[in-house]
Amino acid sequence: MHTDDPRPDTAAAAEELASAPASGLLAALDRHVRDDELVVCLAPGETAAGKGLLALTNERLLFTTPGGVDVIPLDRVTAVAWKGLLVGVVSIAQGANATTVKAVPKTDGQRFAEAARAAIGA
For domain 8-120, the CATH class is mainly beta
pLDDT at 75 over 90: yes
Claim: this prediction has a pTM higher than 0.75: yes
pLDDT digits (tens, 9 = 90+) for 12-68: 999 999 998 887 899 999 999 999 999 999 999 999 999 999 999 999 999 999 889
Residue 53's DSSP bridge partners are 44, 64
pLDDT for 3: 57
Write the DSSP string, 53-103.
Answer: EEEEESSEEEEEETTEEEEEEGGG--EEEEEESSEEEEEEEETTEEEEEEE
Pairing of strands 60-65, 79-84: unpaired
